[in-house]
Structures are given as structure tokens and as C-alpha cells.
Structure 1
Amino acid sequence: MTKHINGAHPNWCRPEKKPVEIYMFIDPLCPECWALEPTLKKLHIEYGQYFKIRYIVSGQLASLNLNAKRKHETLAQQWEKAASRSGMSCDGNLWMENPIESPFIASIAIKAAELQGKHAGIKFLRKLQEVLFLEKLDISNFNVLKQCAADVQLDLDEFMNDIHGDSASKAFQCDLKITSEMEVDEIPTLVFFNENIEDEGLKVTGVYSYEVYVHILEELLAEKPTRQELPALEQFMQYYKLVAEKEIAVVYDMPLSQVKMKMKKWMLQQKVEKVPAKHGTFWRFLS
């Protein structure tokens, strides 16, 4: 669903340098946000020169009564459906075996990572998603969060101090305020703003095909954007480290069968290792 939202671009974060800014409303526990990863990777590679993304943690799932068994069962079913539909694996058994105790802590942790830079925050979010959806780990556990931070090379002392400090908490509260002001009630939601701060934002709720997002960019730019060439697949793998077959297929417009053949060849050459998942397969680049 797409629609224009009331109000101009928020004054506290006006676009700079790039003509389009995208507010992406996420929740670390949301499988549909995970399902958007292949499309976002392709969009960033091919048209990233035209936009920047600001991640807003919505806190949509933070208020769940996670002691309710029925809610666990519902979440498990939602995860399985999302994985089957998207090709991005997530294991719903987590909610029956090792349910998340305090979802809001994961949200605070994302904001704590962002205090070390936007890129650090993005890498940390991706790592959280990997350990949650693939390894079924409790991302509200401080040891898990600390290991994720270490894996993406954050300053651990600073990260742990920020989780318990005021700055990350205030940043999360700011995200909740933005979510409320923009009347975002479904995750994921992307809100596109152009350079004219008086123009309304274009709100896109849910997950759509790649072509839809490209068309939105064309509308906001009022011209056909120039598509950047894709990097060599090996360079792509080296940069992202761990990717799903689905992500490779979407980014490179390859059938999954061709991706599987390519990865099996690389596995024999010891360039990658297979990371089995409940739905589909992930591959880790061996540097």
C-alpha cells in the first residue's frame, strides 16, 4: 500500500547531498524486514547514489506480552509463512524453544550501535538479524548482543556503556515519536522524501517487488535515474560476508539453480562455506 502522508519532511533531519531520503521503519524481530534485505541490497548497489536511508526502530513488538503462549504460537506461524514466501529463512521454532525475553533491549542495542556511526548501526542490525533468524539466539541477552557487537568490530566498552546509558534510550524514544507522528502502524514501512522539504512524504507499507521501489525513485527524481553497474559477485560476497542464495538471485537476476551451481563450485575451491538454514541456504565468504 502506498500513500502520501500528512506533513512535510521533518525539520530535524532534512536531506543533505543526496536528493532522496528514505525513512525505513523496522523492528529487529520482524521477518518482513528481513525479507526486504535482497531488494534493499540491489537498490543500494544500483541507485544508492540517489538516496540515503535512515533506520527508525518502531518498537512495534517491544510491547508484546511475551509470556502468552498463544502469542508465541502466532509469531512462530508468522515467521514460517514469511520465510516460505520470501526465501529469507527464519525459524519460527525459536518462539517455542527460546523465546525473546525483552525485545526492547534489542532496539536499544541498535541505537547504541548507531552512536558509533551510521554504518556501524547497519552492520550491527544485520548481525542481529542473522543470529536471530538463522541461529535462533535470544537477541535480548546481553552476552549475545556483546558478541554481535564484537563480530562487527564495535568498541565493546563504549557499546555496553551506551546500552545502559541515556543516549541510546533517548534515541529510541525519538524513533518511537517519529513512528507515532508519521502514523506508521505496520512494519516494514518506507517513507520517501525528496529535496523539497515542503513536499509530503510517500509512504510505502509492506514488501513489494524491486521495480516498485525503482519507480518511486523515478517519480521523486522526476527523471530516469542512471543505474550503476553491479560489482563482481566475488566482490559482493567479500563485502557482505554472509548472504542468502535468495539475495544473490535478486541482486544479480539469476535463477536459484544457477546460484546453487556457482556456490557449489566456489565451495570446492574453498572460497565459500555453506550455512544451512531451515528455509533455503546461506553462504559465508572465506577471506
Structure 2
Amino acid sequence: MSKETARLYHVYDPMCAWCWGYKPTWLQLESALKDKLEIVYLVGGLAPDSDIPMPMEMRSQIASYWNKIESLLGTQFNHEFWTSNTPRRSTYPACRAMLSARLQGAEKQMLTAIQHAYYLQARNPSDVSTLIELAREIELNVEQFERDLGSAEINQALMQELRFARSIGGNSFPSLFVVKGESVSELPINYQDAEVTLNQIDHVLGKI
């Protein structure tokens, strides 16, 4: 193996229910790999900006995904979200919040805050007001966060990150890729067994 650093890219969206379902296994994986290779988070941009209320058919479809994930993985969801909010198919604001928090070294804290707000507390991360509340709750510099969140620079950074994620094959979430030099290897997502993925990563690293 050359001295060039191998990276594990974790492509996620903070409002992706399957990413929430994967989180316990991902955290095991991340803990086991933190000294082995560089781990890089990439936001996925599941749904662009929209002020249009989500159609009832789409609400029912996404709610059914929650039920499926709950049944398959035992993931906890607060289904009151669907009756206590006006859902919109819009995750770009939450993705910008991730990049804004990253500037303050708090991307992972913000991810957890958004997921808990959305899936456990029935709060809507499509709303900028919710994102600012979460920044306050995790003790970010709120003025800086709010300024960054609405900035052209953060929006440009989001577009660049989405393009890069797509360029390596990150079109669904969660996705995992081992990248070293020109070599890009996608890993199948095992939602319940981190050991399977660890073995796959060892195999990939042994070949590049």
C-alpha cells in the first residue's frame, strides 16, 4: 500500500430516516475505524428547498418508511411529527445547518440534535427557526450560525459537496465509500452488523 491516505466517506442526510436507523451501527463502525483511516462526512441533499406542504400521499409514504424501519431495526420514531407539523419535502436547510455547524467543529453534535428533534421530539428541521433553536441548544455561537446558514458561501459549499458526493456514487443515503487515490470502492450497507462492514473495509484496503 502506498502512503496516500485512505478515506471512508459517509454520505448521509440529516433528515434521512434510514440514516437514523443506521446510526447505532454506524457509531460502532466509526469507533472501530477512527485510528485506521480518515472518516469524512458528506451531506447528501435528499430534497431541495421547498415551501410547499408535503402532499398527503407523500406523507403516508414516508410515514410508512418510518414504520418499516421501526419494525426491521427497532429504531424509535415519534409519529406525532405528522400531526403536529406541516411537513415539507425539504432537507437542504438541514444540510446547510450541518455545514454551518462544521465551521464551529460541531457537525456531529448538530446531526444528533437534528435527528433527535425530528425523529424523537416531533420538531421540523425543514424550518430555519428549528435549526437556530438547535444551534442554541448545543451551545454554538448562534449569531455566527444564523449568519452562515443564510450565506451564499454555505449554499455554494453545499452544492460543491453534493456534486462531489454524486461523483463518487453517493446517490442514496446512507452510503459508504473507501477512496484512495483514484480507487473508489462502495460498501454495501449492513444496518445491523458493523463487523461485516469492518471485514469488507479490511478486504478493500488490502487490495489498494
Equivalent pair of 1:109/1:163 in contact (CA under 8 Å): yes
- Of residues 137, 141, 144, the one that matches 1:151 is 137
Equivalent pair of 1:98/1:138 in contact (CA under 8 Å): yes
Equivalent pair of 1:105/1:140 in contact (CA under 8 Å): yes
- Of residues 85, 88, 91, the one that matches 1:103 is 91
2:62 is matched with: 75
Equivalent pair of 2:132/2:146 in contact (CA under 8 Å): yes
Cα distance, 1:213 vs structure 2:
1.4
Distance 2:58 2:83 in 1: 10
Equivalent pair of 1:90/1:134 in contact (CA under 8 Å): yes
Equivalent pair of 1:146/1:156 in contact (CA under 8 Å): yes
Cα distance, 1:147 vs structure 2:
1.9
SS at match of 1:56: strand
1:204 equivalent in alignment to 2:187: yes
| 1:26-74 deviation digits (Å, cap 9, x = unpaired) | 1122111112211122222233101232222111233687531100110
1:168 is matched with: 154
Equivalent pair of 2:187/2:200 in contact (CA under 8 Å): no
Q: 1:201 to 1:31 in 2, by over 3 A?
A: same
Structure number with bigger Rg: 1
Q: Figure out how many residues of one structure are paired with residues of the other and give that number.
A: 202
Distance 2:30 2:171 in 1: 25
Equivalent pair of 1:20/1:52 in contact (CA under 8 Å): yes
The residue type equivalent to 1:214 in the other structure is L
Cα distance, 1:97 vs structure 2:
3.6
Equivalent pair of 1:20/1:220 in contact (CA under 8 Å): no
Instruction: Decide which moves more: 68-77 or 22-31.
Output: 22-31
SS at match of 1:76: helix
Instruction: Decide which moves more: 56-65 or 21-30.
Output: 56-65
Instruction: Decide which moves more: 96-105 or 31-40.
Output: 96-105
Tell me the percent identity.
23
Unmatched segments (≥5 aa) in structure 2: none
Cα distance, 1:205 vs structure 2:
4.4
Instruction: Decide which moves more: 70-79 or 135-144.
Output: 135-144
SS at match of 1:49: coil
Distance 2:197 2:92 in 1: 30
Q: 1:207 to 1:92 in 2, by over 3 A?
A: farther
Cα distance, 1:109 vs structure 2:
1.2
The residue type equivalent to 1:215 in the other structure is N
Unmatched segments (≥5 aa) in structure 1: 1-14, 224-287
Distance 2:79 2:196 in 1: 29
Kindly report which structure 2 residues correspond to 1:27-46, keeping only aligned pairs within 5 A, or say none.
27-46=13-32
1:213 equivalent in alignment to 2:178: no
Distance 1:126 1:171 in 2: 21
Q: Quote the RMSD (CA, aligned, Å).
A: 2.3
